[in-house]
Chains A and B, each alone.
Chain A
Amino acid sequence: MIMFLIRKILWATATLAVASVLVFATLEIIPGDPAQVMLGINATDEAIAALRQDLGLNKPVLERYFSWIFGMLQGDFGNSYTYSVPVNELVADRITISLPLALLSLLLSTVIAIPLGLYSASRRGSLADTSIMALSQVGIAIPNFWLALLLVYFLAIWLQLVPAGGFPGWDAGFVVALKSLLLPTISLALPQAAILSRITRSALLETLGEDYIRTARAKGLSTGATIWKHGMRNAMIPVLTILGLQFAYLLAGTIIIENVFYLPGLGRLVFQAISLRDLIVVESVVMMLVATIIVINLIVDLAYLWVDPRLRHRSA
């Protein structure tokens, strides 16, 4: 068990190291000059050269790579070129939007999907099952930005129930802030819920077909009790995997939704930073996201061990 953990952590570290090289190298070859972008069209060549010097862009590649890495290890992610404030600060601001948004979407999709999936599985072949599955089929196929467009049009512009976008900040009041996250949350959650409900259903059906479940039912346990006592726990494995993947996706993959609702979240920070060639922000934020995803995967792996003790022996 301990060995397994140590091995996993070692591999995660190696993955991070490789990823850091990849990110750094990618941004080295990206065309465009941050100094030029910052100073604008009419800037003189000498002003640009001076700024490049200030930003440390003239140092050798390896030196810049290692100072970036060592900085990050000490929690210093550098200063944004465009905003000239520490990247940490920028991220800290943005995460107060991206994290709640990801968590809320995950929560909403789980709350919708798991009951629906379980219900479908327990009523396999019924009209309800067929309709839920048909609906989820459509849900999977809807691009979230299209859903977002339709929601904005009908709920925000037409009915004026909720803001069309923007984020007033948490100091504007909890309810006000939460309201502006409502449409983005729904746009992100519904397609995810469609996937999750199908996974839940099929995972449960699969475990219900296993021998020990049949034994349990033969022993006289009711369908509901069987599902809760035995089916759920085993069906949780694929569900957890998907949840882990979805969370990672939601944290960073919301660029499009953040653009539709002009939310100043992490995804949009990176998106803007790429177009402004604020390379230090791109590098650092992407690395943070990669690290988060790796940690989440690690947690999911550990969660497997928790839900399925059989795996403990196998991986040892």
Chain B
Amino acid sequence: MKTMKKLFAAALVTTALAPLVLAGQAIAAKTSLVMGMALEPPHLDPTAGAPAAIDEVVYANVFEGLTRIGSKGEVLPALAKSWEISADGKTYTFNLHHGVKFHDGSTFDAEDAKFSLDRARAEGSTNAQKALFAGIDSVTVKDANTLVVQLKTPAGNFLFNMGWGDAIMVAPETAEGNKVNPVGTGPFKFGSWVKGASVNLVKNGDYWGTPIALEKATFRFISDPAASLSAMLAGDVDAFANFPAPETMPQLRADPRFKVVIGSTEGETILSTNNTKPPFNDVRVRRAIAHALDRQAIIDGAMFGLGTPIGTHFAPHHPAYVNLVDQYPMDLEAAKKLLADAGHPNGFKATLKLPPPTYARRGGEIVAAQLRKIGIDLEIIPVEWGVWVPEVFKAKDYDLTIVSHTEPMDIGIYSRDAYYFNYSSDAFNATIAKLNETTGEAERYALMAQAQKIISQDAVNGFMFQFAKAGVWNAKVNGLWENSPVQANDLTGVSWSD
């Protein structure tokens, strides 16, 4: 027992020292921020990889593009202070800011901008979003601060596209090293990267734009929801833009130290279905599944109430959204009848492959329980992303899976050839083709509504809910984004009060 006492004594001594140490940190804490993130980026070059975690660290902080996307999804000027669009909509003339410097001290000018765009659309480019640049016919330097981009056809979303992380501006001298030592023009410079733990950014004293309030920003990677909660409660992390444990919201909200903000995201969370694999190739089976899903129970059980039910693949906060939740209301009898009509009166067995996020794992358990009621017996197979991507997404070796499609305005994926849903509808493809050619807003919205109705009618996937983002941060932190129109943690406006 003496040992126990000594142990306690040791613990008490350590505890007694703690306030001293913490007090020392508290004063310095006003200009530094620790941001929690679930996934660690594999590298830090947004032009050479799709993982959202890359943008979540460097977008707007380290790297900037010609334009940027604001907290409401609007297009804002960035390195281009203004632009002119020719009458035919095919020529964009960007006026670049003067006196912009990369973090290595070299000057940013139109040559760098041309280099960046040409590099992204080049033949052997590893840019993950090459499609963003596919419409560019030529890029020319008019003078040091004027860039002219010629498009093949008019594109209404070109300025938005130039705001993506994949379209950021890089310098020819440092572009290749950006994966480990990112050199951009942003208000933060890359500091250090403790692999497996955190990335540190420090203030760029030579920043061309509005100076930022923070001296230091740390992105700490915590993949486990429980560890995230303890980090937040213990004050080890100041903010999570996207808190991974929705069940803890009531607890965090009740705590005056924290601010909890539920924001919208572009994430349609769906029960993706392999449309060519029997029995899912039969629309009656897919409709039966749609009738068997109790969306509210899924939202309550998997997300603890966070999320909006959807009946199609479209964000409810978009003006063109059509509420199709009642297309197939929860109705077990109708579902069983449809199954029987399709030749499966006693149901069937299938697999449900679930990627790691909590929404998928928990949602999958609930979906399996709901489908069991109509005789569909799902075997749950949890997979890591490393397996999900090649097996499900690429090879389409799956029956059902659950995933949140986080790209904005991505209903067009239903018209892609050989996308992993294996869905193909001439009516839908025609609608999307027409949408791409149409510029008038009202007509565009009408076409979007039509597209939403077609995939809902065909019950392509089990449409479940729009993912809601639960941001949690220290109540004294101001200026973090409440919604996430793009996946980024823009810290340029962040400051501490008092």
Contacts and interface: CB of A to CB of B under 8 A. Distances in A.
Interface string A145-177: 000010010001100111111110100010110
Given A83-B42, A264-B194, A41 B393 contact: yes
A41 B14 contact: no
Contacts of A308: none
B179 to A, nearest CB: 6
Nearest to B387: A32
B196 A50 contact: no
Contact of A39 (B128, B226, B236, B391): B128
A40 B45 CA distance: 13
Please classify how large the interface on chain B is, using the bins under 10, 10 to 19, 20 to 34, 35 or more.
Answer: 35 or more
Contacts of B17: 175
A113 B20 CA distance: 33
Interface residues of A, number: 58
Interface stretch (A199-207, A224-232, A268-276): A268-276
Contacts of B223: 262
A182 interface: yes
B67 to A, nearest CB: 21
Nearest to A89: B195
B134 to A, nearest CB: 12
Contacts of B386: 32-34, 36-37, 275-277
B170 interface: no
A286 interface: no
A264 B195 contact: yes
B230 A175 contact: no
Contacts of B51: 40
A83 B227 contact: no
Nearest to B131: A42
B42 A262 contact: no
A264 B197 contact: yes
B195 A262 contact: no
A165 B228 CA distance: 9
B14 A32 contact: no
Nearest to A155: B11
Interface string B348-390: 0000000010000000000000000000000000001111011
A84 B180 contact: yes
Contacts of A40: 49-51, 128, 389
B194 to A, nearest CB: 7
B25 to A, nearest CB: 9
Contacts of B126: 39, 43, 47, 50-51
Interface in B146-190: 179-180
Given A40-B389, A83-B43, A173-B21, A32 B384 contact: yes
20 contacts: A32-B384, A32-B387, A36-B389, A37-B385, A41-B50, A41-B389, A82-B43, A84-B43, A93-B195, A111-B3, A116-B3, A156-B230, A160-B234, A163-B234, A164-B236, A165-B234, A179-B14, A182-B14, A262-B223, A262-B231
Interface of A: 31-34, 36-44, 46-47, 50-51, 82-85, 90, 93-94, 111-112, 115-116, 149, 152, 156-157, 160-167, 169, 173, 175-176, 178-179, 182, 259-262, 264, 268-269, 272, 275-277
